[in-house]
Chain A
């Protein structure tokens, strides 16, 4: 777990540090999306470190498209 914690903090610290010079000229919309993306990264980082079974993008995609996709898969099954 220690290796994951170190790796995650390196990743999460590197991005804002590298982008620091760009902050001043970033428009509001860009800054807002930037913050949203960083918060998403923190959430995913928590899952990465703890291995918690929290909702992820695959759960969202399965929730939206899972039903019709599975129905289609059943249609493709060969007749026994």
Chain B
């Protein structure tokens, strides 16, 4: 279905969508999970995984431009055929049915373990899914307009907390380098390459909604948005390290813990609520984008005309998954920091790189046959 240009997203809206997607829930979970394995060299892990994400983004944008701005499913059909596209889409659907409930379960677990301990987790999860489903059904344009405001709030509050915590920083905590060799650094890079930087490949389902079908202005803004998200995450990791040192890895929600130690002039203290706003908005936006992508993949695969048909049942299944899939917090940690990065890098990344290589070869063949 061809969309009119006015129904598509402008550069600012797409930029905000990208920041929301990349920064989203990772700002809650990434600092401590990387610090736990890479310790004082977490920042290096972040830089390695950030570089991997740039390669993924480059491939996504190349495929987007080479195929006149259609989605991953559509150019996959033209490159490898219908049957193989169905075959390759199944792991993607499985991945999204894991990640979407995972994002919501994470924030539900945070709220029910830290903020409102007497309230059952399903209250938070169901509310988030209900609002996410309404948001996705109202369309990508409405979602992006809303996210322009929410991204601003999330980034401003996060940076405010990082700035206010300056008196607690000790740069010596960033030493020593490579105390346990290179392997922990690579482990940290593996985690953050899967969550959130490698996840960029799924954004190929959102790019068709941007105006201009891959013009340079939108391409530049995508790299800019990605760079900004990476910088915020890197800053968050470094600040947490400087504040807590080796203990960062033991704090489950390190940004929240950072806000709790802020004390300025005896009256600015206990500002954790500010962080909670940033955490909830970030995770909500990420859940919305995952739901939108999952719905788009299924709609495009089945060739449904009504794009909203499956939003509610997908949300319902994801809600039930978020309430049942992680039996213990330890299982959540294992699944999110071991299996999710693995699937993102080795399944999602492999599919994307395969399509990019096939596309490149086909384009070269076409060029050489046109010359001949």
Contacts and interface: CB of A to CB of B under 8 A. Distances in A.
Interface of A: 3-4, 7, 11-12, 15, 18-19, 22, 25-27, 29-30, 33-34, 37-38, 40-41, 44-45, 47-48, 53, 56-58, 60-62, 65-66, 68-70, 72-73, 75-79
Contacts of B120: 3-4
A11 B125 CA distance: 12
B94 A30 contact: no
Given A41-B316, A76-B190, 5 more contacts: A11-B319, A11-B320, A15-B313, A38-B313, A68-B342
Contacts of B66: none
Given A56-B325, A78-B184, A72 B320 contact: no
A57 to B, nearest CB: 6
A48 B342 contact: no
Interface string B315-344: 111011101111100010001001100110
Interface residues of B, number: 45
A71 to B, nearest CB: 10
A52 to B, nearest CB: 9
Contacts of A45: 320
A7 B317 contact: no
A69 B320 contact: no
Given A3-B120, A78-B180, A56 B321 contact: yes
Please name the 5 residue pairs, one residue from A and one from B, whose CB atoms are nearest each other, closest first: A44-B320, A76-B187, A37-B313, A69-B342, A78-B180
Interface of B: 37, 94, 97-98, 120, 122, 126, 180-181, 183-184, 186-187, 190, 298, 302-306, 308-310, 312-317, 319-321, 323-327, 331, 335, 338-339, 342-343, 346-347
Nearest to B326: A58
Given A45-B320, A56-B321, A72-B190, A77 B313 contact: no
29 contacts: A4-B120, A7-B126, A11-B316, A18-B312, A26-B309, A30-B306, A33-B310, A37-B317, A38-B316, A40-B317, A41-B313, A41-B317, A44-B320, A47-B320, A48-B122, A56-B325, A57-B98, A58-B331, A61-B98, A61-B335, A62-B335, A65-B339, A65-B342, A65-B343, A65-B347, A68-B346, A69-B342, A76-B37, A77-B183
Contacts, number: 118
A73 B334 CA distance: 11
Given A7-B126, A33-B298, A34-B313, A27 B304 contact: yes
Nearest to A72: B342
A46 B308 CA distance: 27
A30 B309 contact: yes
B310 A30 contact: yes
A75 B331 CA distance: 21
B320 A4 contact: no
